[in-house]
Structure 1
Amino acid sequence: MEASASPTVPASLPEPPWWSTTDVALADRTDAWEAALSDNFRRWQVPDRVAPEFNARLRHRDVAGLRVVECICDPCGGRRLPRHVSQEGAAYIGVQITRSGRESLRAGDERVAVGPGDLVIWTSDQPMEFTVTERLHKVSLILPWDDVKERLPRTGRFRGTVLDSRSGIGAVLYSHIESLASQLEDLEAGELSAVRRATVELLTAAMSCRLEPAPRGLSLQQLKRVQDYILDHLQDETLTPGSIAQAHHISPRYLHLLFGKTGQSVSAYIRQQRLERCGEALSNPSYREHSVAEIAYQWGFTDPAHFSRVFKQHFGHPPGHCRR
């Protein structure tokens, strides 16, 4: 295949503008701050008037189903009441890293103090409160809760947690979000889906140990090994539940029991992962000279009509839409 003389490189994303209280009249700052919080984090209420000298800045970027919000604010407070939660649609999950400053968070019956370097994970399907006690600079990553929940074992309701960001998976996740916030404008369109997938996988890994009791640890390890095997063999069109079970010396029935913990069948998991790889390739300029059928075949889809149908069901638009 002959390479083009001047490959097209997508332009970088423009840097998002800052919203600031300095652009708002003093008398309107409390209401404006409440509206800014609600626009970025769903419905929040600011119960007390902010101080006359209160200053806050906020900006966000929405990419590939993720929202990255950077917020800097003086001491203040806010809350999400049960009626706010009940009036909203699908929940989201938030991952917050604190660059500087301090605040107190309450989710359900749990209250935690948050300071520089802390990493907090929370969900929007419960009442919450925050109190900023020292000028705060934080970055929050927000994505649909269903995208993460479907990858977690069914072990009860997740209420939120604080992770140690100094070592282990917490340190990796903290660095990932920090890098994502600073490098977002430099990512090309074809890279965003891969970054999103890596983000969800990291977040799932960080949360799994907080959900799974010790007696079921071995089955979780087995499930992780099977999922890794599937990801390594996605391009093999002969990949089936039977071949996967045989490769791991387990019965097909036990394989389906392992995936039952995630609420997703083995076949559905394979199809979802293949579709996501196809979506990434179709939106990547490097694959412009490959037809939709070639990309589908590369990732294990042998019937173009079937591929187009399941792709549209998964993404809400036909494969060709990714190339417009």
Structure 2
Amino acid sequence: MSLVLTTDAVPDREKAAYWSDALGRALVPVAVTPRAGTPFDGRIVTDRLGCLRISRMEADAKRLTRTPALIGRSPQDLVAVGIQVAGTATLVQDGRRAELGRGDLVVYDTARPFSVSYPERFATHVFQVPRAVLGVSDGDIGLVTGTAIGTGHGFGAVLRPFLATLAASAPSYAPDVGQRLAGHVVDLFATLIADQAHREPDGSRAHLVRSVRAHIDRHLGDASLSPASIARAHHMSVRYLHRLFEGEGITVSRLIQRRRLEACGRELARRGRATPTVSAVARRWGFVNPAHFSRAFRAAYGVSPREWRGLHLETPA
């Protein structure tokens, strides 16, 4: 049975809070900021086919933000593929901006912060699968997230009509059929990621930036990871590396630190297993100086690593 959530009967003053809760139930926890001074209306319908969750959303202009604190509240890491059905959107993840028009696809990772801005009323379909079932590397996922994928040709042109039909017919499938379809969708998403991540290098700035970001994600635990080591691995000068990132909204050093802090924040917030010490988590993700780690963590999240862990242990699951 479909989960249908709508603001139709919600008082105007409560709609933003209701919509934030609705998206948390249907998708993942996010902060919702409607456009100031305008009424807000939204509707989302969600169906499950095996491990696949399909949501059809239509709403007024707003901004969605997924923060490290909200990520810590999620029990499972998901990879999402969105289809922009109507209106436009801008998705930002890891400093990359995906400008989406009607028909475009986008891949994003719910285990990392992101924001989506919808400047006008829009419609979108969102397909979510557990990251663990995809069978693709974190590096490949990192090469693809936050990038608009056109559907006028190539694999996107094959995938879009299938996903559109699946979203429209999702409620009609029997559980065993839905399970089989979910398996096929997982294979298709893995193929989409591989297709985008392993295109022939063209020497372009965008390709080099994607390659550097994937290298950072693969080597976060290496304490020697630095702009100099990254430049050596990519056979370029440090100066050229910094020039590549001039348009990314973040320096290479800051990106390394942010990704390490995100990894530490996720690990410190996890439950249900033996919990390593804060210093062990810091070392695992490349921080060699405990005092520096604590200062950086507090600056990013407003609390110390131990306070962060305590807040998540105290919060009901």
Q: Is 1:203 equivalent to 2:189 in the alignment?
A: yes
Hey, what's the Cα distance between the residues in 1 that align with 2:136 and 2:164?
Answer: 23
SS where residue 53 of structure 2 aligns?
A: strand
Residues 242-268 of structure 1: CA deviation (Å, up to 9, x unaligned)? xxxxxxxxxxxxxxxxxxxxxxxxxxx
Hey, what's the Cα distance between the residues in 1 that align with 2:192 and 2:95?
Answer: 22
- Are the equivalent residues in 2 in contact too, given 1:152–1:208 (CA < 8 A)? no
1:37 aligned to 23, 42, 63, which one? Answer: 23
SS where residue 191 of structure 1 aligns?
A: helix
- Are the equivalent residues in 2 in contact too, given 1:96–1:141 (CA < 8 A)? yes
2:120 aligned to 129, 134, 138, which one? Answer: 134
Hey, what's the Cα distance between the residues in 1 that align with 2:143 and 2:71?
Answer: 16
Letter in 1 for 2:124: K
- TM-score, normalised to structure 1, is 0.57
Aligned partner of 1:22 in structure 2 is 8
Hey, what's the Cα distance between the residues in 1 that align with 2:151 and 2:10?
Answer: 36
- Are the equivalent residues in 1 in contact too, given 2:58–2:124 (CA < 8 A)? yes
Letter in 1 for 2:60: D
Relative to 1, partners in 2 of residues 1:56 and 1:110: Cα closer, same or farther, differing over 3 Å? same
Instruction: Give the number of aligned pairs.
Output: 200
Hey, what's the Cα distance between the residues in 1 that align with 2:77 and 2:90?
Answer: 22
Letter in 2 for 1:183: S
Residues 133-152 of structure 1: CA deviation (Å, up to 9, x unaligned)? 1210111111101111x245
Deviation of 1:52 (Å): 4.8
Hey, what's the Cα distance between the residues in 2 that align with 1:29 and 1:66?
Answer: 28
Q: Is 1:117 equivalent to 2:96 in the alignment?
A: no
SS where residue 90 of structure 1 aligns?
A: coil
1:101 aligned to 64, 87, 90, which one? Answer: 87
- Are the equivalent residues in 1 in contact too, given 2:49–2:181 (CA < 8 A)? no
Hey, what's the Cα distance between the residues in 2 that align with 1:168 and 1:85?
Answer: 33
Q: Is 1:83 equivalent to 2:60 in the alignment?
A: no
- Are the equivalent residues in 2 in contact too, given 1:38–1:44 (CA < 8 A)? yes
Relative to 1, partners in 2 of residues 1:129 and 1:100: Cα closer, same or farther, differing over 3 Å? same
Hey, what's the Cα distance between the residues in 1 that align with 2:59 and 2:195?
Answer: 33
Hey, what's the Cα distance between the residues in 2 that align with 1:27 and 1:198?
Answer: 42
Residues 150-169 of structure 1: CA deviation (Å, up to 9, x unaligned)? 24586574450322211221
Relative to 1, partners in 2 of residues 1:208 and 1:151: Cα closer, same or farther, differing over 3 Å? same
Deviation of 1:185 (Å): 2.5
Deviation of 1:37 (Å): 1.5
1:55 aligned to 25, 38, 41, which one? Answer: 41
Relative to 1, partners in 2 of residues 1:175 and 1:143: Cα closer, same or farther, differing over 3 Å? same
SS where residue 40 of structure 2 aligns?
A: coil
- Are the equivalent residues in 2 in contact too, given 1:153–1:208 (CA < 8 A)? no
Residues 299-318 of structure 1: CA deviation (Å, up to 9, x unaligned)? xxxxxxxxxxxxxxxxxxxx
Aligned partner of 2:204 in structure 1 is none
5+ residue gaps, structure 2, are: 202-317
5+ residue gaps, structure 1, are: 1-13, 216-324
- Are the equivalent residues in 2 in contact too, given 1:104–1:113 (CA < 8 A)? yes
Aligned partner of 1:66 in structure 2 is 52
Letter in 2 for 1:187: Y
Aligned partner of 2:253 in structure 1 is none
Letter in 2 for 1:38: G
Q: Is 1:192 equivalent to 2:187 in the alignment?
A: no
- Are the equivalent residues in 1 in contact too, given 2:140–2:194 (CA < 8 A)? no
Residues 114-151 of structure 1: CA deviation (Å, up to 9, x unaligned)? 11111111110111111111210111111101111x24
Hey, what's the Cα distance between the residues in 1 that align with 2:124 and 2:138?
Answer: 29
The structure number with the bigger radius of gyration is: 1
- Are the equivalent residues in 1 in contact too, given 2:86–2:122 (CA < 8 A)? yes
Aligned partner of 2:287 in structure 1 is none
- TM-score, normalised to structure 2, is 0.58
Relative to 1, partners in 2 of residues 1:53 and 1:166: Cα closer, same or farther, differing over 3 Å? same
Hey, what's the Cα distance between the residues in 2 that align with 1:156 and 1:94?
Answer: 11
Relative to 1, partners in 2 of residues 1:212 and 1:45: Cα closer, same or farther, differing over 3 Å? same
Deviation of 1:72 (Å): 0.3
SS where residue 194 of structure 2 aligns?
A: helix
